[in-house]
Structure 1
Amino acid sequence: MKKGLFAFLTTAPLLFLSGCESKLVVFDPQGPVARSITELINWSLIWMLLVVVVVFGLFGYIVWKYREKKDNLDYEPPDEHGSTLLEIIWTAIPILIVVALTIPTVKTLYALEEVPQGYEDKEPITIHVTSADWKWIFSYPEEGIETVNYVNIPADTPILFKLTSASTMQSFWVPALGGQKYTMGKMETEMYLIADYPGSYEGQNTNFNGRGYADMKFEVLAQTRSEYDKWVQEVKETAPKLTEEEYEELLKPTHLGRLTFSNTHLDWVNHADHNSKTYTHPELYRGHGYQGKIFEEEDNYRNKTSDDIDEHDHQEDTEHGGDHSGH
């Protein structure tokens, strides 16, 4: 019976976990921001594991040591007034654990508000992020272009995302590159993200805001610098202009595929402005349009080394240069 129980305990987890992915995205960071968050998570897990091991260990020890046996069936414990030393110990230990978790958490959170260490001398690229039901709009004010449901960035370069919302509150999250931040109408939050190497990473909304939020996803495509510059120039030369009427239609609660424009809606509205118009359409929330194809293919650059990237940078034609232009 003991052998059967042991076999069950060793194989049961495999049955429950067989459908899970081999690794979680948050534990496979692809940039310095994500790494700092992963290190904080690991630090917290160590302390939680320590607490669990000690508590369950003491529980098992006490249950076994003070169990009822034949030689103590009539045992009556004496009256005790407790131990002052023990009271101090089990009060001080949780306080020390909270301090050990709080200090690195606060330091990490404040550090995330600045350009990551080691990138202070690199000029960040600013991208305005506007969330709407149920899509993501990315505006490049310096380049004068705009994309929907995908954002291209150069690798190894700090990106300053300025986050706001055209309607309801959403949450902007790219697990492989960093943590999440809320987007709110008539307000603006900021987030720095960096991708170590070229790669394709999934972003999503993690704040429930209606029936379409689960499919409110986007792609972050980190490119080599030459690919990124080539893409920007291509968009400027070939993408259509976005009109104010088209933009207001785009903000209605629908799912869309990828869109690309050679101007930005910042020319006539900035949703972070306290006096800006609110684009909500509650009468349309009962139904929405066709779910567009957001991701065209699997990760494009993963597992490439830095040497591969340098060699790739000198090639005149790139394999994936035009696959993600979106227009």
Structure 2
Amino acid sequence: MKRLRLALTAILLAPLTGCNMVVLNPSGDVAMQQRDLVLISTGLMLLVILPVMALTVLFAWRYRQSNTQATYDPDWDHSTKLELVIWAVPLLIIIALGAFTWMGTHLLDPYRPIGRVASGKPVAADHSPLEVDVVALDWKWLFILPEYGIATVNELAAPVDRPLRFRITSSSVMNSFYIPALAGQIYAMPGMETKLHAVINEPGDFVGFSAQYSGHGFSKMRFRFHGLGQAGFDQWVNEVKQADGMLDRATYLKLEQPSEGDPVRHFSGVDPELFDAVVNMCPEPGKMCMGEMMAIDAKGGLGLEGIRNTLPLTYDKYARRGSVLGPEPRMVAGICSRAEAIASADRKDPPLRDASTPLIGHGLPRPFADPPSTAMTLSSATPLDLDAL
């Protein structure tokens, strides 16, 4: 019978042997600090939970009905020592949890650049972080490395012990960028840019995925993250640069189309302004970017007549770009292109008019005039009397 129980126990525990406890055994310093925070918090809470569970069993056994030897004291109602333990211990635990939470919130802020690559190993002053631009697509991940001018789909590599700085956004709906071995998850949202700083300390192949349900292809929205030595990383970069294809605006718009289970793809070149255009939701050539719209609004807007021009700028609120959902998206062209803005940078604008200077009309008909033949026209030398209008 004993052997049978051991065999059944082994059969039940066998599936657990394939579990990867990556959250409790990560390979990045940030993830390790997060693991320590979880373990410390769990241990502090167990200081209350374990004694309560033990005392519950003890009281149930000691004061059972059949135990006539137990002390019977129906008039007992207060114990100063017991009250002190009941209130002081949880209060101290809450204070300790609050202190650890406050420190962890600031030290492990994903927007804060890391100050060390490992315990007792600060970041060197001349060690610049590797910048990685991340775009969550339907349903795949796009990675852009501006320093090397390359881009990949569903694959990313980073050198060991070099700080990483992620800039993260989404093309359509909210996703969650998560590499458990590297650091905690952070959301990828359309029209916004989130940041994550981390470092990988051990070489190996790790799994990354979306931790936020985002539609039909969500379960296949996974990628490989390679931690490599500097020589291995340089070799990986060279392999990507040998690939055919340039990730320009037109290629990105095709890549943005919803698809599932996409294979790894490499691009030897990338439009340096593509990521900023995705964040501003204007990768389509000529479309007005959100940054332009905000600049217009900051200057007072375009007035009532401009409402009809800017109203079609839904920015994927009702229909996603390139999707089969909803009508064909409409867009408003930018007021000027980047090239036009650069060409006019040296142009000297005329001085602003003083408020007391009368406006001068140039052959404009008087508003609400009767027939055009009798309309009053204003010469360039005739001041416009606004009160008369």
TM over 0.5: yes
**How far, CA to CA, are the matches of 1:14 and 1:29 in structure 2?**
27
Verify: 1:103 aligned to 2:95, yes or no. Answer: no
Cα contact 1:247–1:265 (8 A) shared by 2: no
- For residue 22 of structure 1, report the CA deviation from its aligned partner: 5.2
RMSD: 2.9
Verify: 1:253 aligned to 2:250, yes or no. Answer: no
Cα contact 2:48–2:90 (8 A) shared by 1: no
Cα contact 1:115–1:158 (8 A) shared by 2: yes
- For residue 54 of structure 1, report the CA deviation from its aligned partner: 0.7
CA shift digits 1:219-250 (9 cap, x unpaired) = 11122212322332443354311232221121
Verify: 1:119 aligned to 2:84, yes or no. Answer: no
**How far, CA to CA, are the matches of 2:11 and 2:45 in structure 1?**
26
Aligned residues with identical type, % of pairs: 31
Cα contact 1:135–1:148 (8 A) shared by 2: yes
Q: What is the TM-score of this pair, normalised by structure 2?
A: 0.64
For residue 245 of structure 2, give the secondary structure of its aligned residue in structure 1: coil
Deviates more, 1:225-234 or 1:186-195: 225-234
Cα contact 2:248–2:270 (8 A) shared by 1: no
Aligned-partner residue type, residue 247 of structure 2: L
Residue 17 of structure 1, aligned match among 13, 16, 28: 13
Aligned-partner residue type, residue 14 of structure 2: S
Greater length-normalized contact order (CA 8 Å, ≥ 6 residues apart): 1
Aligned-partner residue type, residue 92 of structure 2: L
For residue 157 of structure 1, give the secondary structure of its aligned residue in structure 2: coil
**How far, CA to CA, are the matches of 2:59 and 2:50 in structure 1?**
14
Aligned 1:30-179 pairs, distance under 5 A:
30-69=27-66, 71=68, 78-83=74-79, 85-112=81-108, 113-117=112-116, 118-121=122-125, 122-179=127-184
CA shift digits 1:119-150 (9 cap, x unpaired) = 24321010011111211110111211111100
Verify: 1:244 aligned to 2:249, yes or no. Answer: yes
For residue 123 of structure 1, give the secondary structure of its aligned residue in structure 2: coil
- For residue 114 of structure 1, report the CA deviation from its aligned partner: 2.6
Q: What is the TM-score of this pair, normalised by structure 1?
A: 0.75
Q: 1:105 to 1:70 in 2, by over 3 A?
A: closer
CA shift digits 1:167-222 (9 cap, x unpaired) = 11111111112211111112222112212232111111111111211221111112
Aligned 1:225-240 pairs, distance under 5 A:
225-240=230-245
**How far, CA to CA, are the matches of 2:272 and 2:92 in structure 1?**
49
Q: 1:259 to 1:70 in 2, by over 3 A?
A: closer
Aligned 1:191-270 pairs, distance under 5 A:
191-255=196-260, 256-270=262-276
Cα contact 2:253–2:322 (8 A) shared by 1: no
**How far, CA to CA, are the matches of 2:24 and 2:67 in structure 1?**
51
**How far, CA to CA, are the matches of 1:82 and 1:216 in structure 2?**
59
Aligned-partner residue type, residue 119 of structure 1: V
Cα contact 2:169–2:191 (8 A) shared by 1: yes
**How far, CA to CA, are the matches of 1:146 and 1:59 in structure 2?**
59
**How far, CA to CA, are the matches of 1:120 and 1:265 in structure 2?**
31
Q: Extract unaligned runs of 5+ from structure 1.
A: 286-327
For residue 26 of structure 1, give the secondary structure of its aligned residue in structure 2: coil
Deviates more, 1:192-201 or 1:108-117: 108-117
Report the number of matched residues: 280
Aligned-partner residue type, residue 42 of structure 1: L
Q: Which entry has the higher C-alpha Rg, 1 or 2?
A: 2
Q: Extract unaligned runs of 5+ from structure 2.
A: 117-121, 282-289, 292-314, 327-389
